[in-house]
Chain A
Amino acid sequence: MLDIENLRVEYISASARHLAVDDISLSVKDGEFFTLLGPSGCGKTTTLRCIAGLETPQGGRISIDGNPVFDATSGKAMPTQKRDISMVFQSYAIWPNMSVAENVGFPLEVKGMRRAERRRIVDRTLEMVGLTSQADRPATMLSGGQQQRVALARAVIKEAKVLLLDEPLSNLDAKLREQMRAELRDLQRNVGTTSIYVTHDQDEALSLSDRIAVMHGGKVIEVGTPHDLYLKPRNLFTAQFIGEAQLFPCRPLERVGDGFLVETSFGKILAKVNTDLGGEATHVFVRPEHTEFVDPSSNACNVLSGRIVSTVFSGKHVEYDVETTCNQRLSVSASSANLRTPGDEVSLRLPPDNAVLLAGTA
């Protein structure tokens, strides 16, 4: 549906050249909810704006549904308004000079649709986002969440092939954000449009996306499903950026059954994820919530003993800071069913199934 090849965007200021997007290639499937995730300045918004045609890249090719919209080699670009896209902006970009219905109906007005028919579709769309009663109010009189819905409705009504969303939830407060996240997901499912979603919020990315591209420094680091990226990231940056991860430097030793044995500062660890890296592994990690407290007498592998240094209670979970016998600090996130207190001697197990090998330098 959407293909990006070797996209390159360079900003040249008086003092320096800055590569905002560095040779990115992506392919998004029809109907997919695809997220560009990364810290600010990673080039995700720039990439999205290139797709929309709001930014002119210096290199590469973009095509939507098989139709090229940008080609650096021929020096041609299809202007934004001709591209089969619609977009939701971070600031909603609701036009304060128009009513809610006028805002939402604008893409249809552009298409030259007659007023009566336009109104019918607008009403239907507003119903979808629950704003029927607000149709004729000035758009400026709405609350933040309502404006967000107007922006969404305006994007959806165009029935474009690709829906682009640029951090649409970042301006909402936490509670509303969660609610809107669910609404957004439902809406996308209902409409079935291919969506490209830009965010720096991993929770949003994980809960909404079919696939995620993790971006950093203008490059795509890794592309995968939320499940894969969380449980078996292939890249150090991904592991660190998505979820909490404590990386331990390691030295690979040998393959043991379906796992691989590595040496760390606190002993030998058996890891069963990414064993194909084998001898190239430089780090190993286990998510805090995968680390288990076990019986000190347990004889299983990957067991360490230590002492709880501090705890942070957050209701559902308790975060423990544990210092092992060889002075290694570890975070453990455990259920609040069984509380431990600082000073308790504990044994920890790093389940081999959740121990992930990574290659590269941190």
Chain B
Amino acid sequence: MLMTKWAGLCAAACTAALFAAGTAQAQPLEDLAAEAADGPPVVWYESSPEDDADKIIEAFNETYPDIRVQHVRITGGNQFAARAVQETQARGYTADLLTGGADHIWQLNDRGILMQLDGEELGIDEKLMPTDFTVATAASVYVLVYNSDNVSEDEVPTSWDDLLDEKWKGRTGSWVRAASWAQLAKAWGKDKAEEHLREYVKLDPFLFKSTFPMAQQVGAGEVDLAVGFFHTAQPPIQAGAPVKLKALDPTPMHTIYTSISQEAKNAAGAKVMLSWLASTEGNKAYEAATNRGSHLIEGTKTHDLVQGKNVSEWAPSETEDYSVISEEFNGILAGAGEAR
């Protein structure tokens, strides 16, 4: 009696294991979704404000109503990466889904925190996947942000050289980090980018610790013309402020990547969510909430923004070069104050 019970249990366990192994090879999205529905919430580390994240999750739940997603907002990309590392070191796991910049994602991958992904299984376009551990889900694109009351349409620089015109002296602003020039160095080469930056510094730009308040200051008219991000200029524009944008060629940008952690508590859910974010529908929903979409996915505003322009960005594999240039350029830009 006892023996048969044991045997029965063993058999059941074996079939379950076999079944699980079999499906893991090519699990269709629907199966993953079904599995995810029983799991714990998908914890997602991302930098958008909670209200925006709510909209994304709402849209996601329209397609996948049974998968719960918990968004935790972590601002400051480096802190996001540090937190994921800390959590993994101390308790063995971090969030399920991780969204961050190239340097953060590659840093996490170096530490073996990220899961290998099968793009085919998740139905993700391969151009979104420079490697097998991450997916390009959005981009921060540098544009000129200007006050349309103070700067007329035909005055706005149409090239990076126009930006250096004397008339902008004391009227222009920039993020305190020279990241846009560091990215331009990819298209122009370091020397040209550095020269441009040095010329720009002579205009006595106002330096902002974040491009969000900078865009607001453009709206308020304290600064007439600034080098900022497309997405951080959206809030004043949407609120009706006299702020307009212009993308220059080449267009520097940062791609934003999303990965799944190795020890994800609900890996199936994370996969479904990632797959959705990489889809046109999901990406548009993401963009609608955060103003950042993937330039690689047709139909997004970000795609249209850089359409026909030369995109300038260091490849993730070149992060080292980018870091060195970036640090040097930051120093040059910071020198703008000392020159005053």
In their complex, do chains A and B touch, with some C-beta pair under 8 Å? no
A-contacting residues of B (Cβ < 8 Å)? none
Interfacial residues, chain A to chain B (CB-CB below 8 A): none
